[in-house]
């Protein structure tokens, strides 16, 4: 049984690792293309949220995993569902990969750093650019 956000993310990613096991528009589909619940045994394809739900069985672990994954959405997206449905398979896997890398970095430094990763940490780890271009400060006119 998975118990940490890292384990949930890894297991969820593995459910949708092959393009045939990933879908858009619904949380899960069976082999005939019918919509089913993600945790059902006959589900063969899941969206990102469906994968998280299937792994956590919608327990109290689900919102924690969603919160972590949401933190690595690209600029312009605030929902995993919207990102999943607007993206291709490799982009969805890349989202999981960013979140997994950050969770591994956090776990690896747990004894050294007793705080959440900051924007500076993420930039240093080259995980994801968190500042949208429009939000960057204009260059000072005297700066060269």
Give every CB contact of residue 51 below 8 A, 6+ residues apart in sequence: 12, 13, 15, 16, 38
In the structure, what pLDDT confidence band is assigned to residue 10 with cuts at 50, 70 and 90?
Answer: very high
Residue 143 resides in a domain:
no
- Given a cut of 80, is residue 93 above it in pLDDT? yes
- Given a cut of 90, is residue 122 above it in pLDDT? no
The stretch 76-92 carries a mean pLDDT of 98
What angle in degrees, to the nearest 10, is found between the helix axes of 61-70 and 48-56?
A: 150
Residue 80 resides in a domain:
yes
Burial of 68 (0-12, 13-18, 19+ CB in 10 A): buried
**Cα 112 to the chain's mean position, in Å?**
25
Residue 137 resides in a domain:
no
Residue 82 resides in a domain:
yes
Question: Does the pTM of the predicted model rise above 0.85?
Answer: no
Parent domain of 81: 5-129
Closest by CA to 65, choosing from 30, 118, 15, 119, is: 15
Give every CB contact of residue 115 below 8 A, 6+ residues apart in sequence: none
Please state, in angstroms and rounded to a whole number, the distance separating the CA atoms of residues 140 and 1: 53
Residue 117 three-state SS? coil
Residue 141 resides in a domain:
no
- Given a cut of 60, is residue 119 above it in pLDDT? no
Residue 86 resides in a domain:
yes
What's the total number of domains in the chain? 1
Residue 27 resides in a domain:
yes
Residue 19 resides in a domain:
yes
**Cα 124 to the chain's mean position, in Å?**
19
């Amino acid at each position: 049984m998975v118990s940490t956000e890292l384990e949930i993310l890894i297991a969820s990613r593995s459910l949708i690792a092959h393009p045939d096991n990933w879908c858009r528009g619904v949380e899960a589909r069976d082999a005939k293309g019918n919509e089913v619940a993600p945790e059902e045994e006959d589900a063969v394809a899941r969206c990102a949220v469906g994968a998280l739900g299937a792994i956590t069985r919608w327990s109290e672990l689900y919102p924690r995993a969603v919160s972590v994954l949401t933190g690595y959405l690209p600029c312009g997206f605030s929902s995993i569902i919207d990102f999943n449905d607007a993206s291709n398979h490799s982009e969805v896997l890349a989202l999981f990969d960013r979140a997994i890398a950050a969770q591994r970095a956090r776990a690896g430094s747990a004894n050294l750093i007793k705080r959440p990763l900051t924007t500076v940490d993420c930039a240093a780890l080259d995980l994801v650019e968190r500042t949208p271009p429009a939000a960057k400060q204009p260059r000072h006119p005297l700066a060269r």
